[in-house]
Amino acid sequence: MNREDIGDTEHAATEPADTLAIPPLPEDRSLLVLDDDKPFLHRLARAMEARGFVVTQCETVAEGLAALENRPPAFAIVDMRLEDGNGLDVIEKLKEARPDARGIILTGYGNIATAVTAVKLGAFDYLAKPADADEIYHALMATSIEKPDAQENPMSADRVRWEHIQRVFESCDRNVSETARRLNMHRRTLQRILAKRAPR
């Protein structure tokens, strides 16, 4: 090996790993959105259509797998926990059918173990709910999103929890029983929280 070859090897070794790991952006904008939360599914689908995607909506793992067989999409936004199974199965099949696809896993049950599993099975990124359309779009595109500067007086942990409960409550059309089910919380406990003023 001559000196020039050594120089090329050293240059390659210092190349940032993250710049090499990102797959190229698929050419088409076909998108599968899979979520069993109907209001969220429809809102997200409309938001992504407004951003130029051609969206296929599914509510079950079975529907998602069937959609992949017909025409594997370039992009996918998949909820992890669904009534008939796990969204990771859809991500795995998507990567088998279309290796260049970018699939995002969404879940309200986020932890490091499931994040690692999602990536191993082919997920392009992993976002915890609640995630808005901007966050999801930038994750799909692998672009940065401008975030506001840290506040001098950020919300307390109690206030963040209260805000999350309120968002879920509204998404359930203010149905206490359904909200309690989704939050894995006793109905009476939820009623007491909703009756109180917002914490500071």
Find the CATH number of the domain harbouring 67: 3.40.50.2300
| Euclidean distance between CA atoms 61 and 110, whole angstroms | 19
In tens, the pLDDT along 61-73 reads 999 999 999 889 9
| Euclidean distance between CA atoms 72 and 157, whole angstroms | 41
pTM: 0.60
Judge whether 12 lies within some domain: no
Asked whether residue 149 carries a pLDDT value surpassing 50, the answer given is: no
Q: What percentage of the chain exceeds 70 in pLDDT?
A: 76
3-state SS, one letter per residue, for 6-70: HHHHHHHHCCCHHHHHCCCCCCCCEEEEECCCHHHHHHHHHHHHHCCCEEEEECCHHHHHHHHHH
Q: What percentage of the chain exceeds 90 in pLDDT?
A: 31
Q: How confident is the model at residue 170 (pLDDT cuts 50, 70, 90)?
A: confident
Judge whether 151 lies within some domain: no
Judge whether 14 lies within some domain: no
Q: Does one domain contain both 107 and 50?
A: yes
Q: Does one domain contain both 172 and 137?
A: no
Q: The domain spanning residue 173 has which CATH number?
A: 1.10.10.60
Q: Does one domain contain both 136 and 54?
A: yes
Judge whether 127 lies within some domain: yes
For the chain, the domain total comes to 2
Judge whether 99 lies within some domain: yes
Which residue segment(s) compose the domain that 178 sits in? 157-195
Looking at residue 31, its pLDDT comes to 96
User: What count of other Cβ atoms lies within 10 Å of the Cβ of residue 14?
Assistant: 7
Q: How confident is the model at residue 110 (pLDDT cuts 50, 70, 90)?
A: low
Judge whether 6 lies within some domain: no
**Token pair recorded at residue 158:** 């109690």
Q: How confident is the model at residue 7 (pLDDT cuts 50, 70, 90)?
A: very low
Looking at residue 33, its pLDDT comes to 96
Biggest CA-to-CA distance, the chain: 76
